[in-house]
Chains A and B, each alone.
Chain A
Amino acid sequence: MRPEVVSQPPAATRPLVEEFRLGLDAPICLTWELTYACNLSCAHCLSSSGRRDPAELSTEECFAVIDELQRLQVFYVNLGGGEPMMRSDFFDIVDHAVSHHVGVKFSTNGTFIDAAAARRLAGMDYLDVQISIDGATSGVNDALRGRGSFAAARQAMDHLADADFGPFKISVVVTRQNVDQLDAFADIAAQYGAQLRVTRLRPSGRGADTWHDLHPTQEQQRQLYHWLLERPAVLTGDSFFHLSALGEPLPGLNLCGAGRVVCLIDPVGDVYACPFVIHDEFLAGNVRNDGGFTSVWRESELFTSLREPDSEGACVSCGSYDACQGGCMASKFFVGFDLTDPDPECVLGHAEPLLAALGTDSVVPRARVDHSRPGVSVPSPVTLRPTRRSGA
């Protein structure tokens, strides 16, 4: 979710990571989910999307948020959802952003990128498109994202290529089922002259129900780590920094930026610490409140506390803490760990006793927000492709 970064000597007074941990006056990287509506029902959807929320921000309110982001010099936003293109004012919002010097990168399942939409997108400046697939074949992809979703995504890629969009991005969440297809994903990207972006699966949203069966095994995490080290051009949004505990750090900032340099604005204007923590515990405020987004970012109690130094915990005394920073807060929270516990995918295996102690029927935090469509069955990769429960 983070941009490609380059840092500059001369030696900083304080390491940049320390600066970021203290938080900045405005986010570097902001994700904005425009709608909870989605035509798909992916088994691991981080926002449990499906149905539009009647309280979603109006077009005017969206424009006001963009104007505020421009004043804060947030250089670009990651638009997502749900499926952002399901908003009838999607192009108006994008136009407003790019004409106000807020660049747009948006994530889509591709369904609504027909030839005309592809030409329109190709004609815009400061716009990046990211098409999601979670399998390099329809079998693996559709088991997670639903039948026909692979073909729809490929068709969108074809349309973008035909419209000379340029190098779009192909975004993949790495799972136990697709980790062996990494080379195949790279081939697909190469075919289109696209950039491959792979990110980490978190137990957020509907992912809470599927994480135990979908997250890569320890062996697969090592495989992924070496694959990434050999391919620095593959984008990761810095999401695999917990793998840096395996040795040489992966390129990037290697820290959890939640509430410090990263945050999420959800479709109803709620501001969360990051896209993967849609839960009251990480809700900082709402853009509709007095003072708008700026005061939520700068003054909310939650964000202020996230910028304080880490408290004690198992990780702080771990020899790999500098590399791994204790991993991902969202992953810990949604599997039912304390935030001072190791990452559930700790590559040194320190989470395994905790996971085993939690067992299969333990009560884990659930989000209040769930927009899954009632009566629509969520694809079940587990029945189609049996896996063992919990990390081997």
Chain B
Amino acid sequence: MDPVPVTLADRLVLHPDVALRPERFGALAYHFGNRRLSFIKHVDLLAVVEALDGERTVGEVLDSAGVDSGRHASFLTALATLSDSEVLCAT
């Protein structure tokens, strides 16, 4: 099943039960509640995840992280997968 899409207008934040472990390629994200391990496969994606504060919109965070609009689609897909596995949650 495809995850629920994330849009530029959404507000997201790291789930309080999730810990990030930075790695060469990005990070490991472990959810202590559902015990799922996710991989954040790119350092730029990690930078975005860390910048999400639940106040600014996803679009604003992508801009501030210097992700140009050509890469928005792939980041939105990645964020949707992370929301689906509850690494991120909506505010």
Contact = CB atoms under 8 A, between A and B. Distances in A.
Contacts of A126: 32, 35
A111 B15 CA distance: 37
Contacts of A26: 21
Contacts of B25: 12-14, 16, 19
B74 A9 contact: yes
Interface in B39-91: 39-42, 44-45, 71, 74-75, 77-78, 81-82, 85
Contacts of B41: 7-12, 16
A8 B81 contact: yes
B83 to A, nearest CB: 11
Contact of A9 (B23, B36, B77, B85): B77
B1 to A, nearest CB: 12
Interface string A124-164: 01101000000000000000000000000000000000000
B82 to A, nearest CB: 6
Contact-residue size bin, chain B (C-beta under 8 Å from the other chain): 20 to 34
A18 to B, nearest CB: 9
Given A12-B25, A75-B19, A101-B19, A6 B32 contact: no
**Best-surrounded residue of B35, B74, B85 (most CB of chain A within 10 A):** B35
B30 A24 contact: no
A103 B35 contact: yes
Nearest to B30: A75
A12 B42 contact: yes
A4 B36 contact: yes
Contacts of A25: 23
Given A9-B41, A10-B41, A10-B45, A76 B35 contact: yes
Contacts of A10: 41-42, 44-45, 71, 74-75, 77-78
B74 A11 contact: yes
Contacts of B45: 8, 10
A24 B25 CA distance: 10
A6 B37 contact: yes
Contact of B32 (A4, A5, A24, A75): A75
A243 interface: no
B38 interface: yes
Contacts of A12: 25-26, 41-42
Nearest to B37: A3
Contact of A73 (B21, B44, B74, B81): B21
Contact of A75 (B37, B71, B85): B37
A263 interface: no
A11 B44 CA distance: 11
B30 to A, nearest CB: 4
Nearest to A126: B32
B66 to A, nearest CB: 14
B72 to A, nearest CB: 10
A73 B74 CA distance: 28
A12 B26 CA distance: 9
A101 to B, nearest CB: 7
24 contacts: A3-B37, A4-B35, A5-B39, A6-B38, A7-B38, A7-B41, A8-B82, A9-B77, A10-B42, A10-B45, A10-B71, A10-B77, A13-B25, A14-B25, A16-B41, A19-B24, A19-B25, A22-B24, A73-B19, A75-B28, A76-B35, A101-B19, A103-B32, A126-B32
Interface of B: 19, 21, 23-26, 28, 30, 32, 35-42, 44-45, 71, 74-75, 77-78, 81-82, 85
Q: Which 6 A-B pairs have the closest CB atoms?
A: A75-B30, A10-B74, A12-B41, A73-B21, A7-B39, A3-B37
